[in-house]
Chain A
Amino acid sequence: MSDNQQLPLPMEDFIKTLPSEICRQPELYMIDGKTPLSAFRPLHIDQISKIIQFANQYNFAVSPQGSRTALTLGRKLERYDIALDTSGMSKLVEYTPEDLTVTIQAGATLRDLQSDLAEFGQYLPADPSPSDVVTIGGLLATARSGAWRGNVPSTRDLILGMTVVMADGSIATSGGRVVKNVSGFDMHRLHTGALGSLGIISSASFKVLPVPERNVSLILSCSKINEADELAFILRNSNLPIRGLTILDSNASRKLGFSSTPKVLVEFTGIEVSINRSIKDTEQIMSRFGEIDQLEDSQIWDQIRSLANEQKEQIVIRCGVQAKNVVEVIKLAELNTAACAWGNLTSGSVWVIFESIDVTTLSKFRSQILSLEGFMQVEAASMNIRDIFNPFGDIEIDLVRALKNRFDPSGILNPGRWTVGV
């Protein structure tokens, strides 16, 4: 607990009932400049349940957090009393490589999971921003994806089940551990992307895939962004085994250490012969475009993901549009003085970084994206911007509110993160 804060009596009494090793310094858990009254790092789901039950009884607001990489995604919290650090729950619960299924606690990082799976030549195809330090809970709660989305099955496609601590402290499981299951409502899909506002994710089960035998990344130079668009479409329509296909604007290209022209970055995965054929076909395609370079490793993809790091003083925007509008959004971003932009053709997601931007320009940018039948979401920004600019735009708020009222009637889970009272 914080030394300079007087704790409400019920909380003081409650803390005495917990093992001291799960009580943490609240100062370590500041969000948007606010320090919580208490912070806990539970080691067992029953401890989460006990904390949430207590919070619900006394109406203390709880904010679950894992690696703290997405704290500025969403509106400023309306209340913040308890920090719930999930990183203490990081065990591999069950892993059956022969069934391609794994169950892991939410506090484990994606990196931990990948390393466990790698021992058996498997992986979870997830490439979220800013990196694989995100926890499994964070990966699911933010539903962030990267260049792989749409090319290979992603987290949303591979989630099989989930255990969640509900706002009343009860423990609810959905789905299961088999690779195909339609029994009951897919609650795990509801919590995926819900930013911890409907329950605290405690563990999750996934279908996993074999690690491809080989992967190779090529960086393809273009003189203009429209050329990059054309090239990316040719590759997408080529039938080659693509895992990542990203268009970089000239600024993103420069930030990543390449020349200041637009680029197409492509990753092929598969067996040796498929990779060789992919390289050969791409060389042929490139004969009427620009230079082609084979990268030594796949670090470039990590570097792109880390461009969207909220720790920097920048505004990170993610747009979603149809494939044919990906480059349109990149062009609009440039017109609106973006620092850099890159887009993943298959998923239609475009990331845009602004060093600074005023709300009027941001609003104009959003309406331009809406006119392309897309959406624009603020992934990271200062509190000031998130205070006055709705990070999510129009969502189906009546249904979201109805769900929130049923799942968390006292509004103790990340209150206000979606919109007022939700």
Chain B
Amino acid sequence: MENNQLATLISELLQKIDRSKILDAPEDLLVYEYDTSIDRAIPDVVILPTNADEVSHAVKVAEIYGIPVIPRGSGTGFAGGALPVKGGILIVLTAMNNIREIDVENRTAIVEPGVINLHLHEALEPFNLIYAPDPSSQRICTIGGNVGTNSGGPHTLAHGSTVNHILGIEVVLPSGRIVWLGGKQLDTPGIDLRGVFVGSEGTLGIVTAICVNLIPTNETIRTMLAIFDSIDSASEAVSAIIRSGVIPMAMEMMDQETIKVVEPRVQAGYPVDAGAVLLIEVEGLSEAVEHDSAVVVSACNDLGAREVRTAESALERESLWEGRKSAIGALGQTAPAIYLLDGVVPRTKLPEILNKVLSASSKAGFKCANMFHAGDGNLHPTVLFDPLEHGATDRVLELGGEIMKLCVDAGGSITGEHGIGLEKRSYMEWVFTDADLAAMEKVRFSFDPVGNFNPCKILPTGHGCAQGHMQITDQHFSAPGVYV
């Protein structure tokens, strides 16, 4: 954007937004040029609103100038969903971080989009209530971002993704109009606009308040660590547990590569010589937990588990989870950069696809660590690489595509919880036909007829958008960095 045009734009924004909430200095904008993906892009201007009216005003100004609007939370997305690839106004919602209401009797809470996921969990603890979605990045990711990508987390196995826990959302539409979609109940009359909005990655509007459903904490929680010599036997144990009729709250797997990196840094108690570990959690009445744990232990033992440990204290439980939730950070410390993928396969195909992933990575010359939601068949292959090595980034991205193709060919999906964003839009055609994508486009244009809300995201087509991310990537890899 030209300087004089930017100055007019800012003066328009200033009519309702304080100068302190507007950033346009290059050194300030640089902070917002990346998220947790590989690509980068700089916005024309950043605003940090504190209420829906300011968001609405910014949206209206953007409409006048015909420039893009991109919402952003903590920038923890792995798919480039918050990157302003065509410039425009980046609306950073982290300053809208109030928990407005916790209604214990009705088991609901109203939060602003910038509330950190973990902060809500902590605020609910005294009331023995839980907001179920708990992405591994919960210490830093925002609830608004979770709504944008329909985030999951380890406990999705029992409780489902974010969409199952959202009752209502206050949204600033591309017209600037502020509306509530849904309400304070599980079901509302009319077409489920709330349901289609969750996971739309900022392409349909900007969420400015969220009414979430809360669930009670269970009487007993038991966390177990099953240690296996191989990924294959651990994967078979996952299937055996499900086959037994017990659905644990979470079933997380880490492979040897991950364990070797995590354990020295976190001291979670994972044996470094194990081929794979399974972190399994069962909850319920104490009687049921006894039964379910016995089923889990027996299934693991039958499949050759070396040992099944049970966390004996809350501290031990936290430590086991700490290892899992710190895994990405720990991996990030071991290589100049990592590329974290997100794919889903039918659970029964886990061992086959994991072996193919490892073989493809090794063929491409990269180390690949795996820590993932085994119960859901949701893989997170993490490729370690050095972007300064000539051609490494291109080869990593190529490998990423190959791994995604493996998931698709196995009847799976190219994303279980990270979203499509910029990164995977060119893969959408592997999964969906032209007619499928045309139907999705109808939703997008029903909300945003101009297409200026988070352009070049989700759908593989779009005016002025590069076809895939590799073209955009090339120009940005000029400096070393750990992209985590």
Tell me the A residues contacting B by CB distance below 8 Å.
96, 98-101, 121, 143, 145, 149-150, 153, 156-158, 164, 166, 170-174, 176-187, 189-190, 192-194, 197-199, 209-210, 213, 233, 237, 239-241, 270-271, 273-274, 277-278, 320-324, 346-349, 373-375, 377, 392-393, 395-396, 399-400, 402-403, 405-407, 418
Q: Are B287 and A277 in contact (CB under 8 A)?
A: yes
Q: Is the CB of A178 within 8 A of B411?
A: yes
A185 B443 Cβ-Cβ under 8 A: yes
A189 to B413 CA separation, bound complex (whole angstroms): 18
Chain B residues lying within 8 Å of A172, measured Cβ to Cβ, are 433, 435-436, 438-439
Within 8 Å CB of A189, what residues of B? 163, 192, 195-196
A273 to B289, CA, bound (A): 11
Interface pair A399/B285, CB less than 8 Å apart: no
Which B residues are CB-close (under 8 A) to A418?
190-191
CB distance from A232 to the nearest CB of B (A): 12
Identity of the chain B residue whose Cβ is nearest the Cβ of A322 in the assembled complex: B106
Cα distance A52–B112 when bound, in Å?
A: 44
Whether the Cβ atoms of B196 and A396 lie closer than 8 Å is no
Given contacts A182-B416, A349-B187, contact A187 B439 (CB under 8 A): yes
Number of A-B contacts (CB under 8 A): 254
**Pairwise interchain contact B428-A180, C-beta atoms closer than 8 A:** no
List the B side residues contacting A99 at CB < 8 Å: 346-348, 377
How many Å lie between the Cα of A204 and that of B179 in the bound state? Answer: 30
Type the 1/0 row for B162-189, where 1 means its CB is closer than 8 Å to any CB of A: 0110000000010000010101111111
Mark B residues whose CB is within 8 Å of A. 103, 105-108, 149-150, 152, 156, 159-161, 163-164, 173, 179, 181, 183-193, 195-196, 198-200, 216, 218-219, 239, 242-243, 245-247, 284-285, 287-288, 290-291, 344-348, 373, 376-378, 411-420, 424, 428, 431-433, 435-440, 442-447, 458-459
Question: What is the CA–CA distance of A407 and B193 in the complex, to the nearest angstrom?
Answer: 14
Distance between Cα atoms of A164 and B149 in the complex (Å): 24
Bound complex: CA of A176 vs CA of B407, how far in Å? 12
Known: A180-B376, A392-B189, A395-B189. A273 touches B242 (CB 8 A): no
A145 proximity list for chain B (CB < 8 A): 186-187
Interface-centre pick from B173, B188, B190, B199 (highest chain A CB count, 10 A): B190
The 11 sampled A-B contact pairs (Cβ below 8 Å) are A98-B239, A157-B164, A173-B436, A174-B432, A181-B413, A185-B196, A185-B444, A210-B245, A348-B186, A349-B185, A375-B189
Q: How far is the CA of A367 from the CA of B307 in the complex (A)?
A: 62
Closest A residue to B173 using CB positions: A399
Instruction: Find B185's partner among A164, A193, A374 (CB 8 Å cutoff).
Output: A374
Q: Are A271 and B160 in contact (CB under 8 A)?
A: no
B432: nearest chain-A partner, CB-CB: A184
- Besides the contacts A100-B242, A143-B192, A320-B185, what 8 more A-B pairs have beta carbons closer than 8 Å? A98-B242, A101-B346, A174-B439, A179-B376, A185-B444, A273-B288, A395-B189, A396-B193
The 8 A-B residue pairs whose C-beta atoms are closest, nearest first, are A189-B195, A395-B190, A172-B439, A273-B287, A180-B416, A406-B442, A210-B245, A320-B185
Partner of B435, one of A166, A197, A274: A166
Contact (Cβ within 8 A) A182 B345: no
Cβ of A271 to closest chain B Cβ, rounded Å? 5
How many angstroms from the CA of A143 to the CA of B428 in the assembled complex? 28
Q: What is the distance, in angstroms, from B18's C-beta to the closest C-beta of chain A?
A: 31
Answer whether A373 and B428 are a contact pair too, CB < 8 Å, given A179-B376, A186-B150. no
In Å, the complex CA distance between A239 and B195 comes to: 28
A239 to B198, CA, bound (A): 29
A150 contacts across to B, CB distance below 8 A: 186
Distance in angstroms between the alpha carbons of A415 and B317 in the assembled complex: 56
Task: Please determine whether B411 and A239 come into contact, CB atoms closer than 8 angstroms.
Answer: no
Contact B424 A143 (CB under 8 A): no
**Are the CB atoms of B413 and A403 closer together than 8 Å?**
no
Residue of B nearest to A174 (CB): B436
Q: Is the CB of A403 within 8 A of B239?
A: no
Q: B160 to nearest A CB, angstroms? A: 5
What chain A residues lie within 8 Å of B200 (beta carbons)?
185
A402 touches B447 (CB 8 A): yes
Closest Cβ of chain A to B333, distance in Å, is: 28
Q: Report yes or no: B440 in contact with A185, Cβ–Cβ below 8 A.
A: yes
Whose C-beta in chain B lies nearest to the C-beta of A391? Answer: B189
* Central interface residue in B150, B186, B193, B376, by most chain A CB within 10 Å: B186
Q: How far is the CB of A409 from chain B (nearest CB, A)?
A: 10
Q: Which residues of B contact A239 (CB under 8 A)?
A: 216, 218-219, 285
Alpha-carbon distance between A324 and B105 when the two chains are bound, in angstroms: 7
Partner of B439, one of A164, A278, A324, A392: A164
Q: A322-B185, A324-B105, A347-B186 are in contact. Are A180 and B288 (CB under 8 A)?
A: no
CB distance from A201 to the nearest CB of B (A): 13
**Are B187 and A347 in contact, with the CB atoms below 8 A?**
yes
Chain B residue numbers with a CB within 8 Å of A278 are 285
CA distance A166 to B441 in the complex (A): 13
Q: Are B442 and A403 within 8 A (Cβ)?
A: yes
Q: A121 to B163, alpha carbons, bound, how many Å? A: 27
Chain B residues with CB below 8 A from A322, complex form: 103, 106, 108, 184-185
- Chain B neighbourhood of A375, CB < 8 A: 183, 185, 188-189
Nearest A residue to B288 via CB reads A274
In the complex, how many angstroms separate the beta carbon of B287 from the nearest chain A beta carbon? Answer: 4
Task: Provide the bound-state CA to CA distance between A171 and B438, in Å.
Answer: 10
Is B285 within 8 A of A240, CB to CB? yes
Instruction: Give the residue name and chain of the B residue nearest to A348 (CB).
Output: B185
Bound state CA distance, A14 and B376, in angstroms? 47
Is the CB–CB distance between A193 and B183 below 8 Å?
Answer: no
Task: Write out the residue numbers on chain A whose beta carbons fall within 8 Å of the beta carbon of B445.
Answer: 406
Once A174-B440, A190-B195 are accepted as A-B contacts, the answer to whether A270 and B431 lie under 8 Å apart by CB is no
- Nearest chain A CB to B5 CB, angstrom units: 30
**Minimum distance in angstroms from A375 CB to a CB of chain B:** 5
Q: Which of B149, B190, B412, B435 contacts A178 (CB under 8 A)?
A: B412
Q: Which residues of A contact B424 (CB under 8 A)?
A: 183
Q: Which residues of B contact A277 (CB under 8 A)?
A: 285, 287
Residue of A nearest to B442 (CB): A406
Asked if A186 meets B439 with Cβ closer than 8 Å, knowing A99-B348, A373-B184, A402-B447, the reply is no
Distance in Å from the Cβ of A81 to the closest Cβ of chain B? Answer: 23
- Docked complex Cα distance between A277 and B299 (Å): 26
Contact B185 A399 (CB under 8 A): no
CB of B150 within 8 A of CB of A182, answer yes
Residue of A nearest to B414 (CB): A183
Complex: chain B residue closest to A157, CB-CB: B164
A396 neighbours in B (Cβ, 8 Å): 179, 181, 190, 193
Q: Distance (Å) between the CB of A124 and the closest chain B CB?
A: 14
Q: A121 vs B186: C-alpha distance in the bound complex, in angstroms? A: 28
Q: Which residues of B contact A210 (CB under 8 A)?
A: 245-247
B161 partner, pick from A149, A166, A182, A348, beta carbons under 8 A: A182
User: Of B190, B219, B433, which one neighbours A173 at CB under 8 angstroms?
Assistant: B433
Which residues of B have CB within 8 Å of A181?
A: 344, 413, 415-416
**Distance, CA A239 to CA B215, complexed state (A):** 10
Partner of A176, one of B285, B412, B435, B442: B412
Residues of A within 8 A of B150 (CB): 182, 186
Residue contact B348 to A184, C-beta cutoff 8 Å: no
Complexed CA–CA distance, A198 and B440 (Å): 12
Whether A193 contacts B436 by the Cβ 8 Å rule is no
